[in-house]
Amino acid sequence: MTEMAYGTVPVRAGEPVLPKWWRTIDRWALAAVLALFGIGLLLGLAASVPLAEKNGLESFYYVKRQMLFGGVALIAMLGISMLSPRDVRRLGVIGFAGAFLAILALPFIGTDFGKGAVRWLSFGFASVQPSEFLKPGFVIVAAWFMAAAHEVAGPPGRLYSFFLTVIIVLLLALQPDFGQAALVLFSWGVMYFVGGAPIILLMVIGGLTAMGGVFAYNTSEHFARRINGFLSPEIDPRTQIGYATNAIQEGGFFGVGVGEGSVKWSLPDAHTDFIIAVAAEEYGLILVLLIILLYAAVVVLSLLRLTQERDPFTRLAGTGLACAFGVQAFINMGVAVRILPAKGMTLPFVSYGGSSVIASGIALGMLLALTRTRPQGQISDLLARRGR
C-alpha cells in the first residue's frame, strides 16, 4: 500500500545512467519544455529580424545567438536533470553564492543599457543578468533552510529563510527590479505555505508587502510611472503596451499570417518582453493557448509528482521551482494583455536573452531532477532516521 501511495519504483542494480534517467524522468514535462524552446525559435525568426536590420546586423543574428544560448540551456538542463537531490542542493547553494555576489557588485560595475534599472554586468561581447541566476539558487537555499526546520532539534530554518528573502527582495528593489523581487517573494511564500506556515502569518506578510508597494510608489519614479500607466483608463497607442494590445486584437483566432505582423517593427522589446504579442498577431489565439497549455503542463505535472515525494527538501524546492516558472510566464503574458503593470520580465524559453534562457534551463533541470521517480522507502525508515 505504501508503494502505491508514494510511487516507489524498484531499484535495478547496475542499471546504466541514461536508461535509468529516461525511465525515471517526467517525459511529458520534458517534451513540453522542448516544445516551448521550439516555439521560441519560431517566434524569434519573426520578431528579431527587424531589430537586427535596425542595428545593421545580418537578418538572423539574434536567432543564431538564441540557438547558441538555447543549446547551452538544453545541455545544462539535461545534465542537471540527471543529478540526485543532494547534488542539486549543492549546485543550488554554489550558484546562489555566485549570483548573490554578482548582485552586490551591480551598484559598482553594473549597467542599465539605457533602461533605467542597473540589472546587468556587461563584458563587452556579452552581458549577464545576475537576478535570473539568483532565482533558482534562492529557491534551493530557502528550501534547504525550511527542510532543516523539520529535523529533530533542527535550526529555525523558516526564520533564516525569511531574513534571506528580505535581503534579496531589498537588493532587487534597489536596482530597481520589482518584478524579480515579487517573484522571489512569491516563491518563498509558496514554499513557506507548503512547509506548514499558518495562513494568518502569510496574510500579515501580504499586508507588509502591500505597504512596501505603497512606499515604492511614493519614492520611486520608475515604479510610479509604470503603475500610473497601468491604472490609466486610456492606453497611449505609441507605448509598448499600446502596440502589444493592438497586435493581440488584430491577431484574432488564427492570426494575420506568418511574417505578416507589424508589431515587431514598432516594439523595441518584441523579441523579449512582448514576444507573446508577436505570437498573438501572426499566429492568433490558437498558438497563445498552446503556449499557455505547455506552461501549465510543466507546472501541473511537476506538482503532481511532488505530492508523492516524502523528502521535505525535495518537495519544497520542487514546488518553489515549478511555481516560479509558471508565475513568471503568467506575469509576462499578463503584462502584454494589460492585466498586470509592466514588469520587464521575459517569457521562459520563448523570449530572446542569454541569461533568461540559460537560467531557465538550469531551473528546469533542477525541477526535472527533483521530480524523477525514485524509491521513497518505508515510513518507519523515515521516522527512524529522524529519531537518530
Residue 175: exposure state from Cβ atoms within 10 A (0-12, 13-18, ≥19) = buried
- For residue 382, pLDDT over 80 is answered with no
Instruction: With cut-offs at 50, 70 and 90, classify the pLDDT of residue 147.
Output: very high
- For residue 4, pLDDT over 60 is answered with no
Tell me the average pLDDT across 340-352: 84
**Residue 47: which residues within 8 A CB-CB, separation 6 or more?**
264, 270, 271, 275, 278, 352
Q: What is the DSSP string of 303-332?
A: HHHHTT---HHHHHHHHHHHHHHHHHHHHH
Tell me the average pLDDT across 11-23: 77
Where along the chain do its domains lie?
A: 26-376
pLDDT for 201 equals 73
- For residue 385, pLDDT over 70 is answered with no
pLDDT for 224 equals 73
pLDDT for 227 equals 73
pLDDT for 103 equals 93
More confident residue, 108 or 240: 108
State the pTM of this model: 0.87
pLDDT for 139 equals 97
pLDDT digits (tens, 9 = 90+) for 39-97: 998 888 878 777 788 878 888 888 888 899 999 999 999 999 999 999 999 999 999 99
- For residue 350, pLDDT over 80 is answered with yes
pLDDT digits (tens, 9 = 90+) for 313-339: 999 999 999 999 999 999 999 888 878
Q: Contact 311/285 with Cβ under 8 angstroms?
A: no
pLDDT digits (tens, 9 = 90+) for 361-371: 999 999 999 99
The mean predicted confidence, pLDDT, of the chain is 84
pLDDT for 6 equals 43
Tell me the average pLDDT across 168-197: 88
* Nearest-angstrom CA–CA distance, 335 and 344: 9
Q: Contact 52/58 with Cβ under 8 angstroms?
A: yes
pLDDT digits (tens, 9 = 90+) for 257-305: 877 777 777 777 777 888 888 889 999 999 999 999 999 999 999 999 9
- For residue 195, pLDDT over 90 is answered with no
- For residue 203, pLDDT over 90 is answered with no
Task: Quote the cell numbers at residue 183.
Answer: 517573484
